[in-house]
Amino acid sequence: MADFLINTLGLPAWLAWTVAAVVAAVLILHVIAGGALVFIWAERKIAGRIQDRLGPTRTGGKFGWLQSLADGIKLLAKEDLMPDGADGMLFRIAPYVSFCASFCAFICLPFAFDVVGQRLNVGVFFVIAVLGLEVFGVILAGYASASKWSLFGAMREAAQVVSYEVPLGMCVVVPVMLAGSMDLVTIAEKQAGWFTNWFLFHDPFTFVVFWIYVTCAVASVNRAPFDLAEAESELVAGFHTEYSGLRWSFFFMAEYGSMFLVSALAALLFMGGWNGPIPVATLLGLSEGTGDTAHYLVRLVGLANLIGKATLGVLMMMWIRWTLPRLRIDQVMTTCLKYCTPLAAAMFLGAMLWQIALPGGLVPVLHRPAAEIREGWLPGPGGEVRARDAVSTGDAVSTGDAVAAKVAQVGS
């Protein structure tokens, strides 16, 4: 986009980059805020239907479309209360800390091949790391509220999120291992083609890993049945007991933002990202080389594809929330430490062994071998570096490929 501004509009480089950065930031902000509006409405409707009610029906026409907008206006108009004993500064900034963490993680989340705020070669690592910072807002809120309920909620959240980061990280490592890169764009591109190329169907181990990831992701964004931090039946409202109005809604925007984020991450890591179950764009003959219109169309189809998958993930979380009862805190910790972590570790080993034995995956005929990059790094018997098939995939943008190519140069 900056290139477009520089070349077509003739803006100076610094202005073009600034405009591009601002536009990207505003777009990401709208994904979170707009997403939250839609998801809150969807949550109400789904909760209603699951409980044999109708949910909102009147606000804004037939299906209550404008319900979340009305909610927003109500929240804006609410009084911004702060308890007497609260630590003012911490109480005020806690929601923003939460929201900023959620927002920052979107920076390097790709929505389609080129549609990414900042492409980072440690993308998936960065997303997981920044997402983990969201817990800080919650802890600060719980502490600063000067309320026992809030403090209990915050303690639970701290214990839970730190514990669940371990199995979550292990699950994320598996697709990283299969793709040979931590760049989210590369990982998604490795799964291009039919759905048989998805890492979800790469081998039985990755299939299990996906479901462990789902469990841990639900837990790490504090959704039921793992929403111990705000367990309303025991802790009033947990960490946000004392919050009202706009600050309270910031917590919720952060929560819905993270829900969308972990769903999009699941789509990118296990379900091909913007590469659909059926490669529609390729079947229609739209590929990168066929001109500008096709180029944008491919991006647009990919964008819709990824957002559709992520939305499905969010809807699934809602379905789980309104179906399953809440766990007790000891059950939450048991699930993490006694089941998820060992299972994820075993599946990681299994996927590794499978990768050595059958690098083509479960359906080798349709599957493009995903592991060719690392071949080039192994030192040969004579000490020379073998660079077999090092850069054969064609996407020279991959960082692993670049390294392998460099090794190949030096080795020859």
Partner 1 sequence: MMPGIATFADAVLAAPLPLAAINWHSFFFVLFAALACGFAVAVVAAENVVRMALYLVLSLGATAGLFFLAGAEFVGAMQLMIYVGGTLVLLVFGVMLTAQAPFVSIKGSGRDKVVAGVVGAVLLAVLLQAALSVKAWRAPAAGVVADPAATPIGMALVGVRVDEPGVGAPARNVRPGYLLPFEIVSIHLLVVLVGAAYLARAKRRKIPRAIDVAASAEPPASVAEHAAIGRDRQRSGSVLAGGR
Which is closer to partner 1, CB of 25 or CB of 385? 385
Nearer to partner 1, 130 or 307 (CB): 130
Nearest to partner 1 of 280, 385 (CB atom):
385
Q: Which is nearer to partner 1, 25 or 304 (CB)?
A: 25
Q: Please state the closest distance from residue 258 (CB atom) to partner 1, in A.
A: 14
If one counts every other C-beta atom within 10 angstroms of the C-beta of residue 113, the result is: 21
Give me the residues that bind partner 1 (CB under 8 A), please. 12-15, 17, 87, 89-90, 120-122, 125-126, 128-130, 132-133, 135-136, 139-140, 143-144, 151, 154-155, 158-159, 161-162, 165, 181-182, 377-379, 383-385, 399-400, 402-403, 406-407, 410-411
CB of 161 to partner 1, least distance (A): 8
Tell me whether residue 90 or residue 280 sits nearer to partner 1 (CB atom). Answer: 90
Nearer of residues 53 and 374 to partner 1, judged by Cβ = 374
Q: Report d(CA 15, CA 393) in Å as an integer.
A: 37
Q: Closest distance between partner 1 and the C-beta of residue 365, in Å?
A: 30
Closer by beta carbon to partner 1, 362 or else 407: 407
Q: How far is the CB of 90 from partner 1 (least distance, A)?
A: 7
Q: Measured between alpha carbons, how far is 155 from 334 in angstroms, rounded to an integer?
A: 17
Nearer to partner 1 by C-beta: 364 or 379?
379
Which of residues 2 and 46 has its CB atom nearest to partner 1 in the complex? Answer: 2
Q: Please state the closest distance from residue 358 (CB atom) to partner 1, in A.
A: 22
Least distance (Å) from partner 1 to the CB of residue 120? 6
Residue 259 CB, shortest distance to partner 1, in Å, is 19
- Contact, 175 vs 344, CB < 8 A? no
Our CB check for partner 1 shows the closer of 143 and 198 to be 143
Peptide linkage before 56 cis (omega within 30 of 0): no
Kindly report the three-state secondary structure assignment for every residue of the chain.
CHHHHHHHCCCCHHHHHHHHHHHHHHHHHHHHHHHHHHHHHHHHHHHHHHCCCCCCCCCCCCCCCCHHHHHHHHHHHCCCCCCCCCCHHHHHHHHHHHHHHHHHHHHHCCCCCCCCCCCCCCHHHHHHHHHCCHHHHHHHHHHHCCCHHHHHHHHHHHHHHHHHHHHHHHHHHHHHHHHCCCCHHHHHHCCCCCHHHCHHHCCHHHHHHHHHHHHHHHHHCCCCCCCHHHCHHHHCCHHHCCCCHHHHHHHHHHHHHHHHHHHHHHHHHHCCCCCCCCCHHHHCCCCHHHCHHHHHHHHHHHHHHHHHHHHHHHHHHHHHHCCCCCCCHHHHHHHHHHHHHHHHHHHHHHHHHHHHHCCCCCCCCCCCCCCHHHHCCCECCCCCECCCCCCCCCCCCCHHHHHHHHHHHHHC
CA separation for the pair 385, 278 (Å, rounded): 38
**Measured from the CB of residue 185, what is the shortest distance to partner 1 in angstroms?**
13
Nearest distance from C-beta of residue 217 to partner 1, angstroms: 16
Q: How far is the CB of 177 from partner 1 (least distance, A)?
A: 11
CA–CA separation, 201 and 240 (whole Å): 40
